[in-house]
A = this chain, B = another copy of it.
């Protein structure tokens, strides 16, 4: 593992968690390197437009990152867009696409908020949470074979075709998700909705499951 690159990437992570901007000294402290080291790293990041100085000369993330992030899972996102749009519109709830990250985490890749809904759940793409928690991870786990000691919610989701959890990722918010099947039988993604409250859970579940299936078919 490259130490210098590692430190540079740590800087980016620190910057992404503190969007109000940081000084070089603060960055150096945050990743436990000498101030001059952080300074040289920042210069390099600036040259790639991954960070810049704001109006107060504090260091913030740069717009080059949107260019880098755009192609990430481009095919999946392009296909998921209309599916999520339709799901958000028909349910009036916030629809999301999650992908498995490693073996223990799920990451939000897309979030589509419904138009016209007076109140709806809102959260940002990029967020991660343990795969055992939340309806998306449960749905992905339920798409795999039965595992000794799995959560009851996983077993139930395998039977029903969709997963439901409440308050595990966002307090007081209920998630309803289904796994997106990929060609070889595995599932590394889920589609779902997040709601504050619901009336007909089963109807929500079948709609989510249908959206997940249709995305799976689009993926081939």
Contact = CB atoms under 8 A, between A and B. Distances in A.
Interface of A: 1-2, 4-9, 12-13, 15-16, 19, 40-41, 43-45, 47-50, 55, 61-74, 99, 101-102, 107, 109, 124-128, 184
B126 A70 contact: yes
A74 B184 CA distance: 38
A45 B16 CA distance: 16
A140 B97 CA distance: 36
* Identical subunits present: 2
Given A67-B128, A109-B63, A127-B67, A5 B72 contact: no
A13 B50 CA distance: 11
A12 B9 CA distance: 12
Nearest to A49: B101
Contacts of A41: 2, 5
15 contacts: A1-B40, A1-B43, A2-B43, A6-B48, A61-B71, A61-B72, A63-B99, A63-B107, A63-B109, A65-B68, A66-B109, A66-B125, A67-B126, A68-B126, A69-B69
